[in-house]
Amino acid sequence: MESHNKTVTSICVGRIGKDFGEESNQFRIMSVGLDGYLKVFDYGSLKVTHSMRFPAPLLSVGYSPDCATRVIGTSNGVIYAGKRKVKEKEREKESESSLFWRVAPVENTEKKVLRPSQFRYFHRGQGEKPSEGDYLVMKPKKVKLAEHDKLLNKFRHGEALVSVLESKNPGNVLAVIEELVARRKLLKCVSNLDLEKLEMLLVFLHKYCTVPRYSSLLMGLTKKVLEMRADDIRASEALKSHVRNLKRSVEEEIRVQQSLQEIQGIISPLLKIAGR
């Protein structure tokens, strides 16, 4: 017992080797102590043949009835169980130390209480399956933002305007323009457009400025664009062509509106007479 630095807490005797033959009479004494060491002694000479260190003070040790398994108990409630390594007939004779055991901790059967300081505390219950009758609250799906929405979130207003113009979706273009008006960045974005992007904007205005659902906003924007970029338009034949097309569309819309007003002036007296 002098091999232990602290108090010896448990001792047991067991047989090692084969179940028959000369090795069947070999015995070993195992002792454990508060120093965390497992000591194995030869039964005849009482010399230490094997030693093993554990991370906690050891309180008990025991053999299974067939001496094939040994179990060690620690002060923190963890149990270590090891099974003796079995030799195969094809292998050469191994050393005596190889007849001892590989140590593996036995899982604690007690359910540990999770605390807020532990990471798993905030993920508790996620792996539980609902039982019959439970009301399921589904997690809302993440909305996938369009490219222009991502640019607006990053306050890259000019790139957002160009991106939405390239999509050629009038609803999205109007939404981005209204957002830029609310942020007071629309005129600055228009003034910073290069000739290629300005041509793209003029094509969009020519196509949708006379549409009734968009005209209230686009007519005012068209006027501002022509005033701010007049010099660039005069210097480019392509921009001049788009402006001429835009002018023809506006004139055509004015003629249509005048014709509708004339028809309304004819129909209104008839409707009044019919209503008497």
Residue 126 pLDDT greater than 70, yes or no: yes
- Between 22 and 8, the higher pLDDT residue: 8
205 and 161 Cβ atoms separated by less than 8 Å? no
pLDDT tens digits, 62-85: 888 777 788 899 988 888 888 777
Cβ atoms of 148 and 166 within 8 Å: the answer is no
Q: What is the DSSP letter of 133?
A: T
DSSP string, 183-226: HT-HHHHHHT--HHHHHHHHHHHHHHTTSHHHHHHHHHHHHHHH
Residue 254 tokens read as 């004015």
CA pair distance 4, 14, nearest whole angstrom: 20
In which band, very low, low, confident or very high, does the pLDDT at 94 lie, cut at 50, 70 and 90? very low
CB contact at 8 A, 161 and 180: yes
What DSSP state is assigned to residue 3?
T
Report, in angstroms and rounded to the nearest whole number, the Rg of the chain calculated over CA atoms. Answer: 45
Q: What is the distance in angstroms between the CA of the first residue and the CA of the last residue of the chain?
A: 124
- Reported as a single tens digit per residue, the pLDDT across 151-189 is 999 999 999 999 999 988 999 999 999 999 999 999 999
Residue 33 CA to residue 59 CA, distance in Å, equals 7
CB 70 within 8 A of CB 14: yes
pLDDT value of position 102? 46
